[in-house]
Amino acid sequence: MNAILNFFKPDFLKQKRGVHPPEHKAESTQLPIAKLAMPQKLVLPLRQHIGNMPKILVSVGEHVLKGQLLATPECTVSAAIHAPTSGTILSIADEIIPHPSGLPDKCITLIPDGKDQWTNLTSLDWRNAPKEALIASLCTSGIVGLGGATFPTHIKLRSSGKLNIQTLVINAAECEPYITCDDMLMREHAEEIVQGIEIAQYLLGAEKSVIGIEDNKSIAQQAMQAALTGKPISIVTVPTLYPSGDARQLIHLVSGIEIPHDKRATEMGVQVFNVATVRALYRHFTFGEPAINRVVTVTGNVAQPQNFEVLFGTPLTALTQAAGGAKPDTTHYIMGGPMMGFDLPTPEVPITKATNCIIAASPHLFAPPPPAMPCIRCARCAEACPIQLQPQELYWFAKSDAFEKARDYKLFDCIECGVCTYVCPSNIPLVQYFRYAKSEVIAADKAKEAADLARERNEFRLARIEREKQERAQKHAERALGTKAEAAKAASAKKDAANEAPTTEAPINSATDEAAKAAKQAAIAAAIERAKAAKAAADATGLAPKNTAPANPAVQQEIAEIDARRKNVGLANTNEAPMTADAEKQAKIAAAIARAKAAKAEAEAAKQAQNLELKE
Amino acid sequence: MLTALYIMLGLALVLGLGLGYAALKFKVEGDPLIARIDAILPQTQCGQCGYPGCKPYATAIANGEADINQCPPGGDAGVHALADLLGVEYKPLNAEHGAPKPKSVAFIDEKTCIGCTLCIQACPVDAILGAAKHMHTIISSECTGCELCVAPCPVDCITMEPIAETPDNWKWKYPVIPIRAVPLHEVK
Amino acid sequence: MNRSPYISDAPSVSMIMLKVLLALVPGIFAYAWIYGGGILVTIALATLTALAAEAALLKIRQRPIKPHLMDLSAVVTAWLLALALPPLAPWWLIVVGTLFAIVIAKQLYGGLGYNPFNPAMVGYAVLLISFPLIMTKWSAPLILAQTKLSFLDQLYFIFNQVLPNDIKVDAITSATPLDYLKTHLKLNQTLSEISQAPIFGVYGAKGGEVVTGAYLLGGLYLIQQRIIGWHLPTAFLGALSAIALVFYVANPEHFASPLFHLTSGASLLCAFFIITDPVSGPTTPRGKLYFAAGVGVLTYLIRVYGGYPDGVAFAVLIMNMCVPLIDAHTQPRVFGHEK
């Protein structure tokens, strides 16, 4: 029915999905990309990408060279961290990272020594080297998607002919207002980008490459067009409408293919890369450079908005200083654009691989939102949503914690672009509700998985205890049967010996009892003998546990302490008499507990006395 | 008057027969109730409800012996889910059975541990690795925070550590709507 | 802490409501021209009652009063109700209707955004069922009335129910065309005979066509301003015309023509202002079409076979009940999904 409606609707009536906010891009494109002076220190978070934390290879105090590998990728979905300049490792500790939570994470702090000395770099002739070697080199290159998603690039490039990639789409849209880093990169380094595109196309085995660029970047488009002469790469201009830069939206705009929600783009024959990422590819293969810097737009309430080439780990304060300083009425900084960015907890955060733009915010730039009114179900959000969701329904569900319904209404297809909030007449922070709902659903799913696992473990444990009980009962039964047979034999032997003496029940019973006891003790003695023999044999053949040899005096001391404690508690020398009467054992343990508690209380008292002394 | 009566009786008969037939013919074999209740419970196996584990508690609820508000680790959300499932009124958590605590994981102080295996025997999900006379350690990813290991330890070497918030497990907070316009950086 | 997006470019709720009021202005002028200035008094009275009632309820519910009063949604309800009532309705009728609409049909459900039924239509329906005689005593268009009342006379009448100089009430009132049609069809007159009555203009009521035309202008303005979409008005008018056409073609002497139905009663007011109430209506494009078509068909059926002359109010209320169902079953396709 929708299709019929859409067919009859003339173009001008078809609702364009998305919005066109004021661009504010001209402010930061007046000056060329500037190089930043070397900052005082570089703070490199280990987690600058999607995937596992890399494994740290360096230690505090070590001197490293520019481009040296500081942390190597852990498993496949991970990326490396390199030293952006030469210097000394000051610390490996938790620092505040640029993350919406404002929580700290592990970072390597590097103090530059000013020499900016490169380590040994190896370039690769990508046209002639085997693809596996190229991918292997990328694994430790630290290159991740520089469009903001920070997905490790080597994973996206290792199609190795399994997936049939027809089209490589290069994302040069940069649809969010204020951000101009890709624009300036294209204006100044079009050649490098084009070479990067060729590398990516070669690695993917793609048939053709298309660059998707918005129509508000005419200078950049001209530069790219000039660099493309004679190459089989085409440019498609898309209308300037936010969010045309979203990967799936751009693919749809450029090639008409709509990627199904449960498939990856590669399964439909398309792969997308940001312009900055392909340029990093070029620099890596041509010069051997790992990922150590990127272009960042500094704009908003600063004296001189412009783009900078920034080393990863540069503190934000260095950037704002270089941009002429933030004006006095700056209230806070935003990382990213005004539609999808987030507040930075403090200006003391480092620049990471995900930082494409820093906006200094002030009340006149971003006025405080008016108080939210109730939702009037006008459905403007639904008309504007690029994913064709129903944000007002998702809002009702998220508000009332009806997360399963929100999931049914395709909450996880939301790309959090912010268009719905942009058009809402009631100023409801819709995207905030969706973010909240999504994290609650993800946490609940994780908790359910953990609960299912706990249930399995509990059931297995109960089953195991049952099984052990049954085995023990069986053993008892067998032993009883066995001793009964022996006792019967002994009794019959006695009988024979006694020569039909008048036997009563009691003597036979006592006889069997004694016989049983004797048999039991004999079995125990036999078991002990067996164990001793086995140990002796092991010692003789050298199969004794090898880790008792004193390797480390500290470990030796610990073992001695533990042995001493065990002795105290009465569990020493359990080789002998493991079957002491239960009551005795309980008493011993109780005594041990008392002793240990007393010892602990003494220690506590001593500590407290010490504290008091210190206080005085 | 009489015709109306006959018509109503006839309708009642026909509809009743229809419903009965449908109840038999279209019967859906669902999960037994105990399994469905157990699926809602958080599987901490802590025993705070008064039963030795989540399955026994689920059985008790199904038999009507236990109330639905006795599980602190499940929290209010759990009570609501149980109330929805069983079609009963929601009631707040029964304070006699404990208060909800932030999720914690047990931690063994290895300097103090004597390797007595009492905690291993106590753990309902076998989340403690160790053997007699050998060091014991908690497998943090399997620990449900039930605290059953803390009491049996003769040297009090087990502590409960609340799970720290890291950028990994951080969640967005429920949006706070100011009643009047507030400058952005002041909104917490 | 994150509050993206930091920018916004949406008309506020007050702006939307203000534009709706602006779009009603041509209709009000036409109405005052045809039926006299009493309508302005009615509208003023309804507005004051609505604002007062809303302020009182907000105070009781401990909500901020100023922002909710400034969003003008109560004013829109008041104007729509006033335009639906007979021109010389007594003041207490207006007050009762508005109170019911604002207090019970809107605030008691939770205020703006929470009412499942169109408040103006609830008020109208309550009045219609409680005071049927007064509600059907429409004042005649000034051109037809045997005696013309001045504005002050009308004002006086609204508040005191007394006419000057022994003018009889019958002299200034007449049945509406729909009402006339219904009663005379029951008397087995044919349409050709009925349409000779002076109340009938070219298509619909004499003078009613002008008011209808003014509403249409206002409605087109709203569509151009993107306050309402094209789905609801087109579907309603289309469905109403279609079913009227079917019946008319079947028996032209017993069923009025589609044009008559479009230009009489509250058809165009409904099409552009009543069913487009966003809170009580559906949110999906297909849903809007089904909803509006349903209102159109039900309006016609109630007009022809129901007990009341105009079926718009009840049709809207019945379809309001169906909105959650319609919404749930007309969810549009999400990008990247099959359907």
Chain A nearest C-alpha distance from B86 (Å)? 18
What's the start-to-end Cα distance of chain A, in Å? Answer: 85
What confidence tens digit (pLDDT) does each residue in A549-588 have?
555 677 777 777 777 877 776 655 444 444 445 555 666 6
Q: Which chains neighbour B (Cβ–Cβ under 8 Å, 3 or more pairs)?
A: A, C
| Residues of chain A neighbouring B146 (CB-CB closer than 8 A) | none
Give residue-wise pLDDT tens across range C39-75.
899 999 999 999 999 999 999 998 888 888 888 999 9
Tokens of B49: 């409800």
Nearest-by-Cβ selection for C10 from A361, A392, A424: A424
Taking the C-alpha atoms of residue A178 and residue A172, their distance in angstroms, rounded to an integer, is: 15
Quote the CA–CA distance of A25 and A359 in Å, as a whole number.
Answer: 12
* Alpha carbon C274 to chain centroid, angstroms: 5
Pure H helices in A228-274: 247-255
ipTM of the complex: 0.89
Chain A, residues 220-259, CB within 8 A of chain C, namely 248, 252, 258-259
Q: d(Cα C118, Cα C101) in Å, to the nearest integer?
A: 8
Secondary structure of A533-577 in the HEC alphabet?
HHHHHHHHHCCCCHHHCCCCHHHHHHHHHHHHHHHHHCCCCCCCC
Closest chain B residue to the Cα of A594, Cα to Cα: B154
Please say whether the dihedral angle defined by the alpha carbons of residues A340, A344, A345 and A350, taken in this order, is positive or negative: positive
Q: How far, CA to CA in Å, does A223 sit from each of A6, A25, A297, A307, A519?
A: 38, 18, 20, 18, 98
Quickly tell me which residue has 């500094």 as its tokens.
Answer: A298
The answer to whether C166 faces chain A, any CB pair under 8 Å, is no
Q: How far apart are alpha carbons C78 and C102 in whole angstroms?
A: 8
Answer whether A421 touches C (CB < 8 Å).
Answer: yes
Note the pLDDT tens digit of each residue in C267-277: 899 999 999 99
Contacts of B116 in chain A (CB under 8 A): 569, 571
Tell me if A439 and B172 make a contact (CB, 8 A cut-off).
Answer: yes
B166-169: long-range contacts at Cβ-Cβ below 8 A with a sequence spacing of 24 or more?
Answer: B166/A103, B166/A105, B167/A47, B167/A97, B167/A99, B167/A101, B167/A103, B167/A105, B169/A443
Cα(C96)–Cα(C82) distance, rounded to whole angstroms? 12
Q: Cβ of C64 and B187 within 8 Å?
A: no
Chain C positions in Cβ-Cβ contact with residue A389 (cut-off 8 Å)? 334
Cβ atoms within 10 Å of A455's Cβ, excluding its own? 21
Closest-CA distance, C47 to chain A, in angstroms, reads 21
B188 touches chain C (CB under 8 A): yes
Q: Which helix (H) or strand (E) holds C31?
A: helix C13-35
Residues of chain A with Cβ-Cβ distance to C333 below 8 Å are: 2, 388
Write a three-state SS string for chain B: CHHHHHHHHHHHHHHHHHHHHHHHHCCCCCCCHHHHHHHHCCCCCCCCCCCCCHHHHHHHHHCCCCCCCCCCCCHHHHHHHHHHHHCCCCCCCCHHHCCCCCCEEEEECCCCCCCCCHHHHHCCCCCEECCCCCCCEECCCCCCCCCCCCCCCCCCCEEEEECCCCCCCCCCCCCCCCCCCCCHHHCC
CA gap B101, A73 in Å, rounded: 37
What 3-state class would DSSP assign to A366?
coil
pLDDT tens readout for residues A101-147: 889 999 999 999 999 999 999 888 988 988 888 988 999 999 999 99
DSSP 8-state secondary structure symbol assigned to residue A96: E
A110 dihedral zone (left: phi>0; alpha: psi -120 to 50; beta): beta
Coil, helix or strand at residue C173: strand
Q: Buried b vs exposed e over C155-183: b needs ≥16 C-beta within 10 Å?
A: bbbbeeeebeeebeeeebbbbbbbbbbbe
Q: Which residues lie closer than 8 Å to B12 by C-beta, 6 or more apart?
A: none
C187 and chain B: CB distance < 8 Å anywhere?
Answer: no
Q: Judged by CB atoms within 8 Å, which residues 391-420 of A form the interface with C?
A: 392-393, 409-410, 413, 418
- Residue C315 Cα distances to B10, C288, C293, angstroms: 34, 15, 10
Q: How many CB atoms lie within 10 A of CB C98?
A: 30
Average pLDDT over residues A298-320: 94
Rg (CA), chain A: 36
Q: Does A339 touch chain C (CB under 8 A)?
A: yes
Q: Which residues contact B146 (CB under 8 A, 6 or more apart)?
A: B44, B45, B46, B47, B73, B124, B125
Question: What is residue C208's predicted lDDT score, i.e. its pLDDT?
Answer: 76
Chain B residues touching C12 at Cβ < 8 A: none
Closest residue on chain C to B171 (Cα): C1
Q: What pLDDT is recorded for position B181?
A: 62
Q: What is the enclosing helix (H) or strand (E) of A272?
A: strand A270-274
**In the predicted model, what is the mean pLDDT of chain A?**
85
| Of B91, B96, B106, B186, nearest in space to B142 by CA | B106
CB atoms within 10 A of CB B47: 17
Please report the pLDDT score of residue C122 as a whole number.
Answer: 96
For chain C, say whether A175 makes contact (Cβ under 8 Å).
no
B interface mutation test: which of A430, A457, A558 has the most B CBs within 10 A? A457
Q: Which of C136, C164, C186 is nearest to C304 (CA)?
A: C186
C6 touches chain A (CB under 8 A): yes
Assess C1–B contact: CB distance below 8 Å, yes or no. yes
Q: Which two tokens stand for residue A75?
A: 């498993």
* Maximum distance among all Cα pairs of chain B, rounded to whole angstroms: 92
Task: Give the closest of C4, C68, C335 to A387, CB-based.
Answer: C335
Contact: B184, C64; criterion CB under 8 Å = no
- Note whether B71 and B56 are within 8 A (CB): no
Kindly calculate the radius of gyration of chain C based on its CA atoms and give it in whole angstroms: 21
Find residues 8-67 of chain C whose CB sits inside 8 Å of chain A: 8-13, 15-16, 64, 67
Nearest to B74 by CA among B40, B107, B105, B47: B40
Burial C1-30 (b: 16+ CB within 10 A, else e): bbbbbbbbebbbbbebbbbbeebbebbbeb
The reply to whether residue B38 touches residue A455, judged by beta carbons under 8 angstroms, is: yes
How many contacts, defined by CB atoms under 8 Å, are there between B and C?
A: 7
| Both tokens assigned to C99 | 């109170």
Of all helices (H) and strands (E), which one includes residue A299? strand A293-300
Chain B residues closer than 8 Å to A99 by CB: 167, 170
Contact C106, C78 (CB under 8 A): no
- Using N-to-C axis directions, what is the helix angle for C73-84 and C13-35, rounded to 10°? 20
Question: Which A-chain residues 23-42 have CB contacts (< 8 A) with chain C?
Answer: none
Mean pLDDT of residues grouped by 10 in chain B (188 residues)? 93 95 84 87 89 90 90 88 90 86 90 90 91 90 90 91 88 79 56
**What are the C-alpha distances in Å from C291 to residues A315, C246, C288, C316, C327?**
58, 20, 5, 9, 10
**CB of A380 within 8 Å of any CB in chain C?**
yes
Judged against a pLDDT cut of 90, whether residue C284 lies above it is answered with yes
Query: What are C187's two structure tokens?
Result: 């008397």
Check B179 against C1: CB less than 8 A apart.
no
Identify which has the larger pLDDT, A168 or C87: A168
**How far from chain centre, in Å, is Cα A377?**
38
What gap in Å lies between CA A327 and CA B167, rounded to an integer? 31
Task: Express as a percent the part of chain A with pLDDT over 70.
Answer: 81
Chain C within 8 Å of B184 (Cβ-Cβ)? Answer: yes
Give the gap in angstroms from C-alpha C31 to the nearest C-alpha of chain B: 40
Question: Which residues of chain A are within 8 Å of residue C293 when distances are taken between CB atoms?
Answer: none
Residues C111-135: pLDDT tens digits?
A: 999 999 999 999 999 999 999 888 8
Min Cα distance B182 → chain C (Å) is 12
Among B126, B156, B180, the residue with its CB nearest the CB of A600 is: B156
pLDDT, residue A307, reads 95
At residue A488 the predicted structure's pLDDT band, cuts being 50, 70 and 90, is low
Which residues does chain C have within 8 Å of residue B187's beta carbon, measured at their own beta carbons?
1, 3
User: What average pLDDT does range A144-164 have in this prediction?
Assistant: 83
Inter-chain residue contact A177 with C230, CB threshold 8 Å: no
Mean pLDDT value across chain C: 88
Report the DSSP pairing between strands A87-96 and A342-343.
unpaired
- Specify the length of chain C in residues: 339
Question: CA-to-CA distance for C119 and C125, rounded, in angstroms?
Answer: 10
Q: Does C6 touch chain B (CB under 8 A)?
A: yes
> Which chains form contacts with chain A, at 3 or more CB pairs under 8 Å?
B, C
Query: Chain A within 8 Å of C234 (Cβ-Cβ)?
Result: no
Question: Cβ separation of B166 and A105 shorter than 8 Å?
Answer: yes
Q: What is the DSSP string of C102-169?
A: IIITTGGGTSTTT-SS-HHHHHHHHHHHH-HHHHH-EEPPTTT-SSPPPHHHHHHHHHH---GGG--H
Cα-to-chain-centroid distance, residue B180: 39
